[in-house]
Amino acid sequence: MNKRIEAALNDQIQKESSSSQYYLAMASWAETKGLNGTAKFMYTHSDEERFHMLKLIKFVNERGGVAVVPSIPEPPREYDSLERVFELLLEHEVGVSESINEVVDACLQEKDYSTHNFMQWYVSEQLEEEALGRSILDKLRLIGGDKGGLYLFDRDMEMTAAAAAKGGNADQKA
Ligand code: OFO
């Protein structure tokens, strides 16, 4: 495997792994605040990110490269508010999208078209994740400090998590 591409993919493995830990920390925080729907959503999201990482590890190894299992810094334990949690999630996803674009760009420069093709799955996944993050934030901003609204929001998140788990299971079998 081209060394530059191998390094870029290993860097992406690190990012997916850190996304998984980040969302796990958010899930745990939400659970301790009684936001069980949001916690479910974050636990599911954390599993999805782990799957993104595993998919990359397998790809690198199958192509003759060596995947590196990274160490991850501890994610934050405390968050100022639920809105802040989703702002951070969206900021994080925008950063991950940029890094995926850099991998895609490196593939084109190195004429590695099969990795380029493989990365297209991540490109569309990021589009979906960013769109979902934005729509959740819009809802939260609409609710403001309304407790009843927050209760309904949390219930909504449980349904979103269930739908994502179904979609995720289908993806993981693919
Ligand atoms: Fe892996 O999609 Fe988010 O980070």
Judged against a pLDDT cut of 90, whether residue 160 lies above it is answered with: no
CA atoms of 5 and 110, how far apart (whole Å):
8
pLDDT at 87: 95
Q: Give yes or no for residue 49 having a pLDDT over 60.
A: yes
* Predicted confidence band of residue 165 (pLDDT cuts 50, 70, 90): confident
Distance between CA atoms of residues 171 and 146, nearest Å: 36
pLDDT average, residue stretch 32-61:
97
Q: What is the mean pLDDT of residues 147-163?
A: 91
Is the pLDDT reported for residue 19 higher than 50? Answer: yes
Mean pLDDT calculated for residue range 48-72: 97
Give the model confidence (pLDDT) of 89-126 as tens digits: 999 999 999 999 999 999 999 999 999 999 999 999 99
| Shortest-distance atom of ligand 1 to CA 53 | 1
Average pLDDT, the chain: 93
Q: Which residues line ligand 1 (CB under 6 A)?
A: 16, 19, 49, 52, 93, 96, 125-126, 129
Ligand 1 centre to CA of 16 (Å) is 6
174: confidence class by pLDDT, cuts 50, 70, 90: very low
Distance, in Å, from the CA atom of 125 to the CA atom of 36, rounded to the nearest integer, reads 25
pLDDT category, 47, cuts 50, 70, 90?
very high
Q: What is the pLDDT of residue 158?
A: 92
Highest mean pLDDT among 80-84, 114-118, 164-168: 114-118
d(CA 123, CA 70): 22
Domains of the chain in start order, with CATH, are 3-173 (1.20.1260.10)
Mutate to test the pocket of ligand 1, among 13, 52, 134 (most ligand atoms within 8 A of CB): 52
Residue of 12, 20, 44, 49 best suited for mutating to test ligand 1, as the one with most atoms within 8 Å of CB? 49
Smallest CA separation from ligand 1 atom 1, residue:
49
